Amino acid sequence: MSSTSTSGPAGRRPAPLNEAVSSQMKRMRRASTKPELLIRKELHGRGLRFRVNHPGLPGRPDIAFTRARLAIFVDGCFWHRCPKHGVMPKNNGVWWEAKLRRNVERDREKDAALSALGWHVRHFWEHEDPARVAEEIAQHWRCLLDSVGV
């Protein structure tokens, strides 16, 4: 998208502070981030198999266990307003406030859509320990499969 396109609830995307900031933002990955990859590696090591960025589900979960109907999202601290690490940019604060607030609203909307389809939804922060997250996911996965008799 160009810098003049409309984006989000606050209208036009503001001009970047400088080219370095613009370049940094463009390099940020949307999928298969390092925290996601570490969690996926841990899950795979536990013998769990899953779909990645399942295109047929609301929000395209980062990890989806289709038999258990378990959707996992690994949320970035900045983009999803982590209470521990989320920081508000100093430049274009009004625009960023609206943008980040809308991200959180969209998270709740996709969670509701998945729940309506019979899916269980779990969110984890990017800063959480991948081994602990994977263990929690594996336990939840086993519990769901036991409840449906798979």
Domain assignment present for 124: yes
Domain assignment present for 18: no
The enclosing domain of 125 has a CATH number of: 3.40.960.10
Range of the domain at 125: 29-148
Domain assignment present for 40: yes
pLDDT in tens, 84-109: 988 888 888 898 899 999 999 999 99
Domain assignment present for 127: yes
Q: Residue-wise over 8-45: b if at least 16 C-beta within 10 A, else e?
A: bebeebbebeeeeeeeeeeeeeeeeeebbebbbebbee
Total number of domains constituting the chain: 1
pLDDT in tens, 103-133: 999 999 999 999 999 999 999 999 999 999 9
Secondary structure element (H or E) that encloses residue 147, with its range: helix 130-148
